[in-house]
């Protein structure tokens, strides 16, 4: 029998490895879905087209062993591949640590993995595939049901905020995919307070990156940037540190009120 400590280590490593594996498959989706390529068939080098062997596809380890180069043509392999695999692994471990049960951890892992793919594809194409949004919404709703948490105000705030922007701007500020994404985000976070943290975090991150890109002349004032990644990042911050952020803000408000009135 495993001790509780050994079982915790075993499960943590299991979620990490599962995350690496799903991250590897996620790379296939990220590279193939936007251009309509079939998900079937063997993987091949993006530079020389050589069909890759199983030993070339071990998540993270193959990239390190090959020193980031194709062993057939010696061209550099995009750092996107190991980055997605590592992030996926870390998200799976986070889900295991954050969730209350193994079932919840598995569901949350899949939701966060879907969110990672959505962010990566949105960066590449400034668009979110409906099938990924549907997958994310489905897993987020399952996570909400597993926890037994339902707050209609979370959906009213999250979905209403983005839907309102879409209506006012006639689709110029955000895309319809962001509205669908907000449905899953609202279900994943579960409360209007955490949705509020997500919204503030998303726009802070988005503004900071936009200013940086403008200063470095990577974009122009009239350029558009994908907002899905910032929504995803804001959701993760809310899920990870949202309660602490809210507590900190509440304490600050109380202290300011005390100073003002006394």
Domain boundaries, position 55: 1-98
Task: Out of 98, 119, 148, pick the residue that ends a domain.
Answer: 98
Structure tokens at 161: 């905020």
**Contact between 240 and 231 (Cβ < 8 Å):** no
The values of phi and psi at residue 41, to 5°, are 90, 160
- At 1 the pLDDT is 41
- 195, 257: one domain: yes
Structure tokens at 171: 């689709």
Task: Out of 98, 127, 160, pick the residue that ends a domain.
Answer: 98
Structure tokens at 36: 């309509």
- 51, 162: one domain: no
Per-residue pLDDT of the chain (262 residues; tens, 9 = 90+): 456 778 888 999 999 999 999 999 999 999 888 877 767 767 777 777 777 777 777 788 888 887 888 788 888 888 889 999 999 999 999 999 999 899 999 999 999 999 999 999 999 888 888 899 999 999 999 999 999 888 999 999 999 999 998 888 877 778 888 899 999 999 999 999 999 999 999 999 999 998 998 888 888 877 778 888 999 999 999 999 999 998 888 877 776 667 666 5
- At 152 the pLDDT is 93
Handedness of CA 159, 165, 169, 175 (dihedral sign): negative
- At 197 the pLDDT is 95
Task: Out of 98, 123, 147, pick the residue that ends a domain.
Answer: 98
**pLDDT tens, residue by residue, 166-186:** 888 877 778 888 899 999 999
Mean of all residue pLDDT scores within the chain: 87
- 109, 91: one domain: no
Q: Which residues pair with 76 in a beta bridge?
A: 69
Q: Which residues pair with 45 in a beta bridge?
A: none
The values of phi and psi at residue 73, to 5°, are -110, -5
In the three-class reduction of DSSP (H, G, I as helix; E, B as strand; rest coil), residue 76 is classed as strand
**Contact between 24 and 57 (Cβ < 8 Å):** yes
Structure tokens at 197: 């943290």
**Contact between 89 and 23 (Cβ < 8 Å):** yes
- 190, 260: one domain: yes
Q: Which residues pair with 44 in a beta bridge?
A: 51
Measured distance CA(232)–CA(216) in Å, rounded: 24
Measured distance CA(58)–CA(138) in Å, rounded: 29
Measured distance CA(15)–CA(106) in Å, rounded: 9
Rg for the chain, CA atoms, rounded: 21
Q: How many CA atoms lie within 13 A of 46 on its CB side?
A: 11
pTM confidence score: 0.90
Measured distance CA(90)–CA(104) in Å, rounded: 16
- 201, 73: one domain: no
């Amino acid at each position: 029998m495993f001790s509780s400590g050994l079982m915790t280590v075993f499960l943590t490593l299991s979620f990490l490895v599962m995350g690496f594996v799903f991250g590897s498959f996620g790379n296939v989706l990220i590279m193939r879905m936007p251009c309509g390529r079939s998900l079937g068939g063997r993987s091949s080098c993006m530079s020389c087209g050589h069909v890759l062997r199983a030993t070339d596809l071990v998540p993270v380890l193959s990239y390190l062993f090959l020193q980031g180069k194709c062993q057939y043509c010696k061209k550099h392999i995009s750092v996107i591949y190991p980055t997605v695999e590592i992030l996926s692994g870390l998200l799976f471990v986070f889900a295991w640590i954050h969730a209350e049960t193994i079932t919840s951890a598995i569901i949350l892992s899949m939701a966060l993995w879907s969110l990672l793919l959505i962010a990566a594809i949105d960066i590449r194409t400034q668009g979110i595939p409906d099938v990924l949004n549907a997958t994310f919404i489905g897993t987020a709703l399952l996570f909400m049901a597993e926890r037994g948490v339902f707050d209609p105000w979370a959906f009213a705030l999250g979905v209403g905020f983005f839907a309102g922007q879409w209506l006012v701007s006639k689709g110029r500020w955000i895309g319809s995919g962001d509205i669908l994404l907000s449905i899953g985000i609202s279900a994943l976070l579960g409360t209007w307070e955490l949705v509020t943290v997500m919204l503030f975090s998303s726009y802070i991150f988005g503004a900071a990156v936009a200013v940086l890109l403008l200063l470095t002349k990577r974009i122009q004032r009239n350029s558009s940037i994908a907002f899905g990644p910032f929504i995803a990042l804001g959701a993760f911050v809310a899920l990870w540190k949202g309660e602490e952020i809210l507590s900190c803000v509440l304490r600050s408000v109380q202290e300011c009120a005390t100073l003002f009135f006394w």
